[in-house]
Amino acid sequence: MTTTQAIEITELTKSYGETAVLQGVDLSVPAGSVFALLGSNGAGKTTIVRILSTLLTSDSGSALVNGHDVASDAARVRESISLTGQFAAVDEILTGRENLVLVAQLRRVADPGRVADDLLAQFGLTEAGGRRAGTYSGGMKRRLDIAMSLIGDPAVLFLDEPTTGLDPQSRLEVWKTVQALAGRGTTVLLTTQYLDEAEHLADRIAILHEGRIIADGSLAELKALLPPTEIEYVEKQPTLEEIFLAVIGHDRGAATSGAAPSPTTTATTPAN
């Protein structure tokens, strides 16, 4: 990461009729980072993404993406970004490779076939590349969707609740994809309702509530906002998600026999 800001938002407001959705949002996203924007349904996360991607105009305030103003320099902003919405935007009639080639042709990149093959390999979809996208699992469609978003090497990628509706295994597949993007230096703005998702993926986290940013910082900084914890011994039971992943053999190595993990006794430690 660098100290350069890929996204800068100042006093952004947006209302729909009498309903104020954004009420003076200030936000900075460092270049090359994964930034998670948390909030409940209706908090305004998607509204922010739509403004930053030039699909919606704000009522007041300013927003810069990759140094370009979203209001006065929208064309340059669109050249710098890609957006993956809440639902995969793949053509299910086309094969995975054909989806990628089509987007590469529309973006006029050199050698669309090579670009498609490279992305299929990068996202673990080479064997499925010749199959119709309609036969893909939810996680595979989402990985293909993100791969399509990366054609043209955008500086900033918006992922608007990318794991909504996915099963636990597919969520893990998307998490690995986002972590790989961070490793190559892409700036990712991730909106999500899932706290564990932000905890696993984000370098910094902001919490949007009633149209305002009420907290912003690293996970350690946000934990420090709470009072110091006391050491207690508690019995840690496996979550249903951990049981599900263990049973199907995708618990990241915690269980090898396919059985659910046994309860363990652990100690909590102070947060700061």
Looking at the structure, do residues 203 and 248 belong to the same domain, yes or no? Answer: no
3-state secondary structure 32-50: CCEEEEECCCCCCHHHHHH
The arithmetic mean of pLDDT across residues 42-64, rounded, is 94
Is residue 115 one of the residues assigned to a domain? no
Half-sphere exposure of 5 (CA within 13 A, CB side): 13
Looking at the structure, do residues 22 and 65 belong to the same domain, yes or no? Answer: yes
> Tens of pLDDT along 167-213?
887 788 888 888 888 888 889 999 988 888 888 899 999 999 989 99
The rounded mean pLDDT for the chain is: 85
Is residue 98 one of the residues assigned to a domain? no
Tell me the whole-structure pTM to 2 decimals: 0.77
The pLDDT assigned to 231 comes to 75
Calculate the alpha carbon distances from 77 to 30, 63, 74, 173, 178 in Å.
16, 10, 5, 29, 22
Looking at the structure, do residues 183 and 242 belong to the same domain, yes or no? Answer: no
Contact predicate 158/84, CB 8 Å: yes
DSSP 184-241: TT-EEEEEES-HHHHHHH-SEEEEEETTEEEEEE-HHHHHTTSPPPPP-EEEEPPPHH
Q: Residue 99: is its pLDDT beyond 60?
A: yes
The pLDDT assigned to 28 comes to 95
Is residue 130 one of the residues assigned to a domain? no
Q: Residue 217: is its pLDDT beyond 80?
A: yes
Looking at the structure, do residues 86 and 180 belong to the same domain, yes or no? Answer: yes
CATH code: domain of residue 59: 3.40.50.300
Low-confidence winner among 47-51, 146-150, 176-180, 253-257 (lowest mean pLDDT): 253-257
Burial 243-264 (b: 16+ CB within 10 A, else e): bbbbeeeebeeebeeeebbeee
Contact predicate 28/5, CB 8 Å: yes
Contact predicate 242/255, CB 8 Å: no
The pLDDT assigned to 146 comes to 87
> Tens of pLDDT along 114-134?
999 999 998 889 999 999 999
Contact predicate 172/198, CB 8 Å: no
Looking at the structure, do residues 150 and 254 belong to the same domain, yes or no? Answer: no
Looking at the structure, do residues 219 and 259 belong to the same domain, yes or no? Answer: no
Domain residue limits at 249: 233-267
DSSP state of 113: H
Give me the number of domains the chain comprises: 2
Looking at the structure, do residues 260 and 141 belong to the same domain, yes or no? Answer: no
Return the number of other C-beta atoms located less than 10 Å from residue 27's C-beta: 21
